[in-house]
């Protein structure tokens, strides 16, 4: 049997045997209820009730529709369902709502369900799971008090079972736009808008999945800032499509924690091709109580993620960030990417990661950064602060704005890969600098590195102190620009070239460790010194000056230098590229200390 309502009826309408098949309210029909706790339509336990509404159902002090054993509600394009406590409440079994009209929970009253759960001001509330589909013309709103719990002031609240919300219209609430308390999924299409003050979407207790092609926003209200755009309290995935927006409110409490996307208590994954904006964090991923949780963020070429303190932050968890778009942090001390327990950052060609202090900060563990885009920071373009092993790979197209810093007590390596040609402003606390074959690097700041492996081209515009050794396997070129200084503790290899591009200086700490077979100029092999001319200087540290003697160049271009006045005597050999050697004769003079300067004089 079917129950039809085409006129005005005073509720509550209590469903019975005649409405087991279908209850319909036509576009001329209306069910109106008044009084505290008086519902519009009640479907008692024992049957799963189906309802189709094209008219009006209102209950100013109760529930618009209450179904105690599950059921379905289809609300038409011009239809209205409203309740002082909630628009629709379905308990006992899974519910299904398809809405193209308006569903409204006013929050003027409340009801206690299952002894503990307080329902107040939800648009739609399911207590045994279910699905809600809101069409492009649909509006679902909840206006209950925020801060009371997920079941108060939510546009859609689902607990007690599997949950799925698909929105193409508008969901708006004073607390949570959508709150799923037993996990589940939310799909917000390109025409969909979900807004809440606490969070736009909150999913807890089981992993959640959010796919957004529209707008999900945590809005501010006149008395308090909104919180997270999307919050997953048991981990899960967030996919934000091209042109889509996820945005936090301005935050509340101390400290502020408003994030565009927030995941905790499980592994989290964010894939963004649209815009994610957070007042404090663009995306914040934390492990919560799950010790082995991990996080991943992938930002495509069309994606933008921004925050105040950090664009992307992994807090107390290993993280992996892959970026081809824009990631930024605009607040004081901000980091574009902040990984607080180690991890990896891959910044692809065209990608930009920037912060007011750090472009990328990796702390709390080993880290790897591979950069083919732009890393920019007010102080550091990239900074490692964790122990273990840290590696920065400079790839073709890489740009660094700011210093690059290694971690104290860690093994820090910077490597330029084939095809790259990057300029480094300042390299701080790195133990190894590797220039691969087919790559070039320019050092523009004063730099100290214990070990350098140069198989490409390394250009020095300021100073480079190789404090331990140039790796003997090096086959590359050191280019000394005008005014630059290359200070070498040891360089026993024979396949490295040091080219004096402008008036510059080569300082040799230990002449006995500069090449091999030192003391036998005919057998000597060592770095080849090219383009040495007027204005260039070689400083033989601790060699002494009084008693220095220079022998004529050998046929293989070796300058043999001795100093018999020093206890035990000293000997040095320097091999020059005679085809690029400037005109003049070699001359020795004091370096003002314990060494001798070798120059070429007219």
Q: What is the pLDDT of residues 148-167, one digit of tens each?
A: 888 899 999 999 999 999 99
Widest distance between CA atoms in the chain: 120
Per residue in 569-583, pLDDT tens? 789 999 999 999 999
Question: Which long-range contacts (C-beta less than 8 Å, at least 24 apart) are formed by 431-438?
Answer: 431/406, 433/458, 435/476, 437/475, 437/476
At CA 420, angle to CA 329 and CA 432, rounded to 5? 80
Compare 20 and 418 and report the one with higher pLDDT: 418
Compare 301 and 290 and report the one with higher pLDDT: 301
Of 16-20, 253-257, 303-307, 468-472, which range is least confident?
253-257
For residue 74, what are the β-bridge partners?
52, 98
243, two tokens: 């042109």
pLDDT score of 94: 97
**Contact assessment for residue 575 and residue 529, using Cβ atoms and an 8 Å cutoff:** yes
Q: 533 CB contacts (<8 Å, ≥6 apart)?
A: 500, 581, 582, 583, 584, 600
Of 245-254, 293-302, 421-430, which range is least confident?
245-254
pLDDT score of 1: 62
Q: Counting every residue, how long is the chain?
A: 602
Residue 221 confidence class, pLDDT cut points 50, 70, 90 = confident
**Contact assessment for residue 424 and residue 400, using Cβ atoms and an 8 Å cutoff:** yes
CB atoms within 10 A of CB 421: 17
pLDDT score of 567: 63
506, two tokens: 């080569």
Per residue in 168-181, pLDDT tens? 999 999 999 999 99
pLDDT score of 20: 66
Whether the link from the prior residue into 315 is cis, omega within 30° of 0, is no
β-bridge pairing 139-142 and 170-173: parallel
Residue 21 confidence class, pLDDT cut points 50, 70, 90 = low
pLDDT score of 414: 98
Residue 12 confidence class, pLDDT cut points 50, 70, 90 = very high
pLDDT score of 371: 98
pLDDT > 70? residue 568: no
pLDDT score of 150: 86
pLDDT score of 351: 98
Average pLDDT over residues 542-550: 91
pLDDT score of 565: 77
Per residue in 378-427, pLDDT tens? 999 999 998 899 999 999 999 999 999 999 999 999 999 999 999 999 89
Average pLDDT over residues 476-491: 98
For residue 5, what are the β-bridge partners?
25
Per residue in 272-284, pLDDT tens? 999 999 999 999 9
DSSP string of 220-265? -BTTB---EEEEEBTBEEEEE-TT-EEE--S--SSS---EEEEE-S
The alpha carbons of the chain give a radius of gyration, in whole angstroms, of 36
pLDDT > 80? residue 254: no
Per residue in 495-534, pLDDT tens? 999 999 999 999 999 999 999 999 999 999 999 999 999 9
C-alpha separations of 438 from 460, 475, 477, 496, 498 in Å: 17, 11, 11, 15, 17
Report pTM. Answer: 0.94
Dist CA 427 CA 486 (whole Å): 15
pLDDT score of 566: 67
pLDDT score of 72: 97
Dist CA 67 CA 438 (whole Å): 72
Q: What is the distance of C-alpha 135 from the center of its chain? A: 33
Q: Is residue 77 classed exposed, middle or buried when 0-12, 13-18 and 19+ CB atoms within 10 A define those classes?
A: middle
Average pLDDT over residues 9-20: 85
Strand extents, DSSP E, 482-584: 485-488, 497-500, 505-508, 528-530, 537-540, 548-550, 558-563, 570-576
C-alpha separations of 552 from 257, 573, 586 in Å: 73, 12, 9
CB atoms within 10 A of CB 297: 30
Dist CA 115 CA 235 (whole Å): 29
Dist CA 570 CA 582 (whole Å): 26
Dist CA 518 CA 560 (whole Å): 9
453, two tokens: 């492996």
pLDDT score of 115: 63
pLDDT score of 318: 86
Residue 224 confidence class, pLDDT cut points 50, 70, 90 = confident
């Amino acid at each position: 049997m079917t129950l039809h309502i085409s006129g005005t009826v005073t509720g509550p309408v209590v469903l019975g045997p005649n409405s087991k098949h279908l209850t319909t309210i036509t576009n001329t029909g209306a069910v109106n209820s008044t009084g505290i706790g008086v519902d519009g339509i009640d479907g008692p336990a024992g049957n799963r009730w189906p309802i189709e509404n094209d008219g009006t159902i209102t209950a100013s002090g109760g529930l618009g529709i209450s179904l105690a054993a599950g059921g379905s509600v289809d609300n038409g394009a011009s239809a209205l369902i409203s309740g002082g406590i909630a628009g629709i409440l379905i308990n006992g079994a899974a519910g299904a709502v398809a809405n193209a009209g308006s569903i409204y929970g006013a929050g003027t009253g409340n009801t206690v369900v299952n002894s503990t759960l307080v329902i107040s001001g939800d648009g739609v509330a399911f207590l045994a799971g279910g699905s809600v589909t809101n069409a492009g013309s649909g509006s679902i709103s909840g206006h209950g008090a925020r801060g009371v719990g997920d079941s108060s002031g939510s546009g859609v609240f689902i607990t007690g079972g599997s949950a799925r919300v698909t929105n193409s219209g508008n969901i708006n609430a004073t607390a949570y736009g959508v709150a799923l308390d037993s996990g589940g999924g939310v799909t917000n299409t390109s025409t969909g808008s979900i807004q809440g003050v606490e969070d736009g979407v909150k999913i807890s207790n089981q992993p959640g999945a959010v796919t957004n092609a529209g707008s999900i926003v945590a809005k501010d209200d006149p008395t308090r800032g909104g919180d997270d755009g999307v919050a997953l309290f048991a981990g899960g995935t967030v996919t934000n499509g091209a042109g889509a927006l996820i945005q936090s409110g301005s935050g509340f409490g101390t400290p502020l924690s408003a994030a565009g996307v927030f995941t905790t208590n499980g592994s989290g994954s964010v894939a963004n091709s649209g815009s994610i904006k957070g007042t404090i964090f663009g995306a914040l991923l934390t492990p919560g109580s799950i010790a082995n949780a991990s996080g991943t963020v992938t930002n495509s070429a069309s994606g933008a993620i921004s925050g105040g303190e950090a664009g992307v932050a992994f807090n107390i968890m290993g993280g992996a960030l892959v970026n081809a778009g824009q990631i930024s942090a605009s607040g004081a001390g901000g980091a574009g990417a902040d990984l607080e327990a180690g991890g990896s950052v891959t910044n692809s060609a065209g990608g930009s990661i920037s912060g007011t202090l750090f472009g990328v900060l990796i702390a709390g563990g080993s880290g790897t950064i591979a950069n083919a885009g732009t890393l920019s920071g007010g102080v550091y373009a990239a900074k490692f602060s964790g122990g273990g092993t840290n590696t920065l790979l400079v790839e073709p197209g890489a740009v660094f704005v700011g210093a690059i810093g290694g971690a104290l007590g860690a093994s820090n390596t910077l490597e330029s890969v084939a095809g790259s040609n990057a300029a480094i402003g300042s390299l701080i606390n790195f133990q190894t600098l590797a220039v691969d074959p087919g790559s070039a690097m320019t050092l523009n700041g004063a730099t100290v590195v214990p070990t350098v492996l140069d198989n490409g081209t390394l250009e020095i515009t300021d100073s480079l102190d190789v404090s331990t050794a140039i790796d003997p396997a090096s086959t590359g070129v050191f280019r000394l620009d005008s005014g630059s200084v290359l200070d070498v503790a040891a360089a026993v290899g024979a396949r490295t070239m040091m080219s004096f591009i402008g008036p510059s200086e080569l300082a040799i700490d230990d002449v006995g460790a500069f090449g091999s077979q030192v003391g036998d100029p005919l057998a000597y092999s060592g770095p080849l010194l090219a383009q040495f001319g007027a204005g260039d200087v070689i400083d033989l540290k601790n060699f002494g000056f009084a008693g220095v003697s220079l022998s004529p160049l050998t046929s293989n271009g070796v300058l043999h230098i001795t100093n018999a006045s020093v206890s035990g005597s000293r000997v040095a050999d320097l091999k020059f590229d005679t085809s690029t050697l400037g005109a003049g004769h070699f001359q020795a003079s004091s370096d003002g200390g314990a060494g001798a300067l070798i120059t070429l004089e007219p």
